Amino acid sequence: MKPVELKDGVYWVGAIDWDERDFHNFVTERGLTYNSYLIMDEKVTLVDTVKHKFVRQSMERIRKVVEPSEIEYIVVNHIEPDHSSGLPDTVKIAKDATIICTQRAKDGLCRYYDCDGWNFQVVKGGDELKIGRRTLMFVDMTMLHWPDSMATYVKEDRLLLSNDAFGQHIASGGRFDEDIGVDEALKWAKIYYANILMPLSGLIKKKLAEIQNLNLEIDMIAPSHGVVWRNPAKIIEAYSRWSNFESENKVVIVYDSMWHSTEAIARAIADGVESEGAEVRVFHVRKDHWTSIVTEILDARAVAVGSPTIHNGLFPTVAGFLTYLKGLKPQNKKGLAFGSYGWNGNGVKEVHRILEELKFEMLEPFMVKFRPTKEELEKAFEMGAELAK
């Protein structure tokens, strides 16, 4: 369990979780990492800890550089337990360490854990801490993505320890973007952004501008999940696109079906989209996971959602997906609600209402009684073409 040196005297000492497949309903099909960083200076500093069951793995890495008991500062950028649940065991080992965090982080840590006897030093955005030849500058990241969040910038190394920002959920033997391929790293970063950070896009735009105004020279970004960016301009540019909801010429169709009627409509709409040369992605909500669906919605220009009507309302799987989508707040989309019904079309009406709440620019809902006729499928085709246009 070797540490990995990022910069002279700065090491990755985190943990790799090869087996985890779910993170708050986010499918992590390639596992994930909990990244922790050790800075060797006059004051030995650890930035972020790991999930509690991986403390031993992290300590073994640290021990190859320095005895963990010699850690003098522990910087807590964010208190969510995937980062902080290893803190109590770490404090037992580094008994004299001072915990550096925001006031909200301190309050939260003492709600999660028994912090009696812990040494705290509260900081805020713009504060600096000299640890020897290096200076740590703390960057306010409030609500990116919790109220307590901050990032740590190592000025002399031009290194941003960004916590959840710029991360990805992927377990890998390589520690850098180039190790798995920059495009591959961006693919996993997009999945992470779509499923965790999309609702915070307005704040992210402001934060990117603020970091630019601070004139921070950044030649490496080390997040708390996934690989480290040796090509930071690539991920910063991607965050700029995603936070502005820049879209591709793509329509995403999402549906569920009871007796294949709504499915037939979905396929007719897809054919109509293709007829106009636009890209189309079709998802069945019981066969495709929401993680993949919303990743495609992030940069789609239009979204069509189909549901049959059951018990005078939405089909449960579609209702669940739309609840997930509402929380993520995608923007700048065209929308279409469609589906079949027997006694009323309340399911489709409810889809239309929810997409309107998301401020999608909506076409008229398209409803078919029982099984679609040839003429109705032709109409669905035309609606797909209209969406594509």
The residue from 34, 48, 73, 78 that is catalytic is 78
Catalytic residue status for 260: no
In degrees and rounded to multiples of 5, residue 203 shows phi and psi of -65, -40
DSSP string, 84-139: HTTHHHHHHHSTTPEEEE-HHHHHHHHHHS--TT-EEEE--TT-EEE-SS-EEEEE
| Pairwise CA distance, residues 376 & 162, whole Å | 52
Catalytic residue status for 164: yes
Catalytic residue status for 24: yes
The residue from 82, 157, 256, 350 that is catalytic is 82
Contact indicator for 366, 380 with CB cutoff of 8 Å:
yes
Centroid of chain to Cα 139: 20
Catalytic residue status for 78: yes
The residue from 20, 80, 89, 179 that is catalytic is 80
CA distances from 283 to 93, 162, 249, 267 (A): 49, 33, 17, 10
The residue from 17, 148, 157, 164 that is catalytic is 164
The residue from 34, 225, 256, 350 that is catalytic is 225
Buried/exposed code over 285-323 (b: 16+ C-beta within 10 A; e: otherwise)? beeebbbbbbbbbbbbbbbbbbbbbbeeebbeebbebbe
Contact indicator for 322, 354 with CB cutoff of 8 Å:
yes
Catalytic residue status for 145: yes
Q: Residue 231 corresponds to which amino acid?
A: N
Catalytic residue status for 52: no
Contact indicator for 139, 125 with CB cutoff of 8 Å:
yes
Contact indicator for 372, 257 with CB cutoff of 8 Å:
no
Total residue count of the chain as it appears in this document = 389
If one counts every other C-beta atom within 10 angstroms of the C-beta of residue 66, the result is 16
The residue from 11, 37, 192, 193 that is catalytic is 192
Kindly report the CA angle at 219 between 217 and 220, in degrees rounded to 5?
125
CA distances from 373 to 41, 152, 363 (A): 74, 61, 21
Q: Residue 129 corresponds to which amino acid?
A: L
Query: Catalytic amino acids?
Result: 24, 78, 80, 82, 145, 164, 192, 225
